[in-house]
Structure 1
């Protein structure tokens, strides 16, 4: 399906008029477009080479599979994109304001080299460079200090137990919450770390989380079987399920709870992760309560709710 977001990508590639648009550059063009336009089609996260959208990358792969673009050397970090067929109707179907924003991106930044474009985004939005693997090559000492200042802004010294649910969040917004709360370890307490929502199945989530410098650990022993959740229609149903959970699964897997406690004592800031947005409707809260009930508690409990 050719969504509006995908049309934006195709229009950008077509108006740039090149066959050597690298993955790094296209991500930067899309990011700048979202800064110029009111149409915030993608969220971005500071990643290995700066601002990156997993959702945009997924759409680019989809466009390749659909026969709209060709990806040169898809297995390499330096892969590049080119249109297979030019299609003026795609541009004509975009709004006037989106076309104007794309034209501005192309005119102002389209002739920059890859290094120049990436450097520009780092200098203009230092937060995007905090996890960059190439910032030391591109920035001077003063610019690096500005990037470090953004990173230091989120550093916390106290020991904190966080919880988070990904319901309603893009992967990019989710990762940004981990960054801004200085989470060191994401502890996935789902029984089965699989999700129909893009980015939140185990392998993809692990790769994304580790890409921002956060350790990922799956503790399925503390999860709840999927079939036990099928008849939850009210808060009373949730409460009843979690009471059973506390008296069975949690007790039977107490060693796993103590393992999480050791992680917290060692790493200082960990986050229990599951699906539900509302902490009252997720067993991660019961896990957190159990951790708060252990002896010698020297940490705070802060659920992340968006």
Structure 2
């Protein structure tokens, strides 16, 4: 069985983030932010991928598994998570190539699906994980960090 981690960097410094993923043996980060930029500079794509590389952790950005800006804006405004997840689940189901790429990364080495939100139940990475589970031939063990 493949284990797939999910992680949000909200509330973390780069140091505490690296400590967390390394403590769980994560060898690859699958970034599912549509736009991999952050107000925390250490988590913006270029600097983040360099810090991960320095720690011996691989990095892949899969833009197709990100949340489109209109949906991000709408859920921030309404906090209507059931509607948000229904729309995200449909969008993720329509991304077979990106889901396959994410599954291959997770099968090759311990990997974590990354986004911003600390709470997985408020993050679109739950839709990504559900779509990966549907696309996988075998069950995935999901662990939220």
Alignment TM-score, normalising by the size of structure 2: 0.91
1:246: Cα distance to partner?
1.4
State whether residues 292 and 301 of structure 1, in contact with CA within 8 Å, keep that contact through their aligned partners in structure 2: no
- Counterpart of 1:240 (choices 74, 83, 94) is 83
**1:276 aligned residue (117, 129, 132):** 117
Q: Which residue does 2:106 correspond to in 1? A: 264
1:187-209 CA distance string (max 9 Å, x none):
00000001112311000100011
Structure 2: 5+ residue stretches without partners: none
Report which of the two has the higher share of strand. 2
CA RMSD of aligned residues (A): 1.6
Please report how far the alpha carbon of residue 234 of structure 1 lies from its aligned counterpart in structure 2 after TM superposition.
5.3
| TM-score, L = length of structure 1 | 0.45
Count of residues in Structure 1 that have an aligned counterpart in Structure 2: 144
Structure 2 Cα separation of the partners of residues 296 and 231 of structure 1: 34
Counting only pairs closer than 5 Å after superposition, residues 1-306 of structure 1 correspond to structure 2 as: 159-232=2-75, 233=77, 235=79, 237-247=80-90, 249-267=91-109, 269-304=110-145
CA distance in 1 between partners of 2:70 and 2:136 (Å): 33
SS in 2 for 1:199: helix
Q: Which structure 1 segments of 5+ residues have no match?
A: 1-157
Ranked by relative contact order (alpha carbons within 8 Å, sequence separation 6 or more), the top structure is 2
Find runs of 4+ consecutive structure 1 residues off by over 3 angstroms. none
CA distance in structure 2 between the aligned counterparts of 1:169 and 1:239, rounded to whole angstroms:
27
Alpha-carbon distance in structure 2 between the residues aligned to 1:177 and 1:220: 24
